[in-house]
Amino acid sequence: MKQNNLIKQIEDLIFETKNIAWIGSSDGELAMSWDEFSYRFAQVEHDPEIARQELAVDLVIAMKDGTWYERDTDCGGWTHKRVPRLAIDHKPFAYVSESDSPNGSWPYSTLDELNDCEVAQ
């Protein structure tokens, strides 16, 4: 069983930890600064294979730029998330599922792929 230090894992993930706004629960009810978190949990070791079971499932790292990292419950790793932004030149779309798109059925299709008229021709 390989053990990883939680603080080292976060430091390796986020090279400039000064960009962390806070760390805590995804609802924001429990939170602390990176300095406090890294001091208090410096000794926390976890098995990366079962991190999703060992670490709090709602633990997030909120960044100063409004993005955040959250736990991936499938693999236990961290996923970087961004708030979607509306493009100035956004356009409507006609298809939301692989079954109704004329482009056929591909696993994990994006809206762009499902609505790409050039592919359907």
Q: How far is CA 5 from CA 2, 41, 42, 46, 50, in A?
A: 10, 9, 8, 7, 14
Could you tell me if 72 and 93 lie in one domain?
no
Could you tell me if 75 and 103 lie in one domain?
no
Could you tell me if 32 and 65 lie in one domain?
yes
Could you tell me if 66 and 93 lie in one domain?
no
Per-residue pLDDT tens digits for 11-34: 999 989 999 999 999 999 999 999
Could you tell me if 111 and 66 lie in one domain?
no
Could you tell me if 100 and 113 lie in one domain?
yes
Could you tell me if 25 and 73 lie in one domain?
yes
The count of structural domains within the chain is: 2
Per-residue pLDDT tens digits for 90-109: 988 877 777 777 776 667 77
3-state secondary structure of 70: strand
Could you tell me if 90 and 67 lie in one domain?
no
Could you tell me if 21 and 34 lie in one domain?
yes
pLDDT mean across residues, the chain? 83
Say how far apart CA 17 and CA 92 lie, in whole Å. Answer: 39
> Domain range holding 58?
4-81
**For residue 107, what are its two tokens?**
């696993």
Could you tell me if 41 and 100 lie in one domain?
no
Could you tell me if 32 and 56 lie in one domain?
yes
Instruction: State the Cα angle at 19 between 18 and 25, rounded to 5°.
Output: 105
